[in-house]
Amino acid sequence: MGRMRTFGAVASTLALGTLAACGGGGPTSGGGKISDDKIVLGVITDLSGVYSELAGENAVEAVKMAVDDFKKAHADDAVTENIEVVSADHQNKPEIANTKAREMYDREGVDAIFDVPTSSAALAVANVADQNQKLFFDIGAGTTELTGAQCNPYTYHYAYDTYMLAQGTGTTITDKGGENWYIIYPDYAFGQDMNKSFVNAVEGAGGTVVKSDATPFPNDNFSTFMTKAPGLDPKPDVLGTMQAGGDLVNVVKQYNEFGLREKGIDLAVGLMFDTDIASIGVEPLAGTLFTTAWFWNLDDRAREWADRFQERTGERPTFDHAANYSAAMQYLEAIQRAGTDDAAGVNEELNGLEFDDFFARNATIREGDHNVIHDTYLVEVKNKDEMEEESDFTKLVETVPAQEAYMPVEDSGCEMG
């Protein structure tokens, strides 16, 4: 009995664990208008976990690249020569993100924080930014809350959000005739948010969501949902998956195994990065549609930057990397114009700014909710024989103009305090 008890105790403890889980300034000198006589950019990102490849070390590198380029461009007239980049690993946990953000603003003299994947972590940092009255450019997280109910004057949302993903993929595919949808989403905040956005987008475009199912997270077996799909009434035209990372890989493998494409059910992916395509392989994904904020092979401007990025890191950039560079550059240029790194002064430069760079096309920094809107792209995964090089994964299907891609500012629910 004793041994049984030991084992039982271990197993029960583990089970409980699983179920529960589902639940001062630096040196100051009188250096004019630049605080501490230097600008410090902080990157809080996932350096070891599931997002460490789509963001991670290369996001830090992208910000450093922006700093180097800025220094080169303003060799003679730069507002200061002292620009530093510091980074921290938040392990995708909001409480760690919170602590790191405080450390950065209070002790490391950081003037603006970048990246922060994982929505709950990004919301935590936004809160710290508001309290400290320092800037935060969210890039890695996708929740619309950042520019909605939880918006604040010090937080900007740069690359993408769930509304824009749903708008691009949901609306466009429905318009193109994929009217009946079966949606599966992981049962946590991002998945639920995505599901809601997609249901709204599909129905807004005149389509029907036949059914949407929450799936366990993490999950390695989606067979149930694959066998269920063709039997739904009416039969869905599109399987919309909101899974990410390893779960997405499982969905795609099993989607192919059950031959759903041959049964007339197309696959649409809520959020996908080049790193995901690399790990699944192009063949099982060929023809899959998804919306992206940017991709490196978009055009010459994008390629030129991607080539420089590759020289530096050895890899092709994801949109997260590109957006980190772009945000850091816009921030530094704003300081240059304002002549100060004081958040209020920089805000004045950024609010309402219209710009266009290699990443953000036809971009506007909306004053009302600090959503940085820009053109987004509905893309399709290429066939193997269309690829021009190893990382050439996607081709453009349609550009969604900035004004249509994002939630109208009056619907955002944002009230800047």
| Contact indicator for 54, 292 with CB cutoff of 8 Å | no
Is 383 a binder of another protein (CB under 8 A)?
no
Is 392 a binder of another protein (CB under 8 A)?
no
Q: Name the segment binding another protein (CB under 8 A); options: 49-57, 120-128, 196-204, 346-354.
A: 49-57
Q: Name the segment binding another protein (CB under 8 A); options: 106-114, 143-151, 154-162, 246-254.
A: 246-254
Classify the phi-psi angles of 208: left when phi > 0, otherwise alpha if psi is within -120 to 50, otherwise beta. Answer: beta
Is 95 a binder of another protein (CB under 8 A)?
no
Phi, psi of 318 (to 5 degrees): -90, 175
Is 215 a binder of another protein (CB under 8 A)?
yes
Q: Name the segment binding another protein (CB under 8 A); options: 147-155, 157-165, 276-284, 327-335.
A: 276-284
**Residue 344 to residue 327: CA distance in whole angstroms:** 17
Six-digit token string for 289 = 């549609």
Classify the phi-psi angles of 216: left when phi > 0, otherwise alpha if psi is within -120 to 50, otherwise beta. Answer: beta
Q: How many residues does the chain have?
A: 417
Is 249 a binder of another protein (CB under 8 A)?
yes
Is 3 a binder of another protein (CB under 8 A)?
yes
Is 280 a binder of another protein (CB under 8 A)?
yes
Query: Min. distance of Cβ 231 from another protein in angstroms?
Result: 6
Is 7 a binder of another protein (CB under 8 A)?
yes
| b/e code 134-168 from CB counts within 10 Å (16+ = b) | bbbbbbbbbbbbbbbebbbbbbbbbbbbbbbbbbb
Is 416 a binder of another protein (CB under 8 A)?
no
Q: How far apart are the first and last CA of the chain?
A: 63
Select from 23, 48, 40 the least CA-distant residue to 104.
Answer: 40
Count of residues of this chain found to bind another protein when the rule CB under 8 A is applied:
52
Beta sheet of 363-365, edge-to-edge order: 354-355, 363-365, 372-373
Q: Name the segment binding another protein (CB under 8 A); options: 29-37, 94-102, 106-114, 218-226.
A: 218-226
Collapsing DSSP states into helix, strand and coil, what is residue 45? strand
DSSP conformation class of 229: G
Is 91 a binder of another protein (CB under 8 A)?
no
Collapsing DSSP states into helix, strand and coil, what is residue 362? coil
Six-digit token string for 160 = 């993408």
Is 25 a binder of another protein (CB under 8 A)?
no
Is 2 a binder of another protein (CB under 8 A)?
yes
Is 258 a binder of another protein (CB under 8 A)?
yes
| Cβ atoms within 10 Å, residue 10 | 10
Q: Name the segment binding another protein (CB under 8 A); options: 14-22, 29-37, 158-166, 319-327.
A: 14-22
Query: Min. distance of Cβ 306 from another protein in angstroms?
Result: 19
Query: Which is nearer to another protein, 3 or 72 (by Cβ)?
Result: 3
**Footprint on this chain of another protein (rule: CB under 8 A):** 1-8, 10-12, 14-15, 17-19, 22, 49-50, 52-53, 187, 213-216, 218, 220-221, 223-225, 227-228, 231, 245-247, 249-250, 253-254, 257-259, 275-276, 278-281, 283
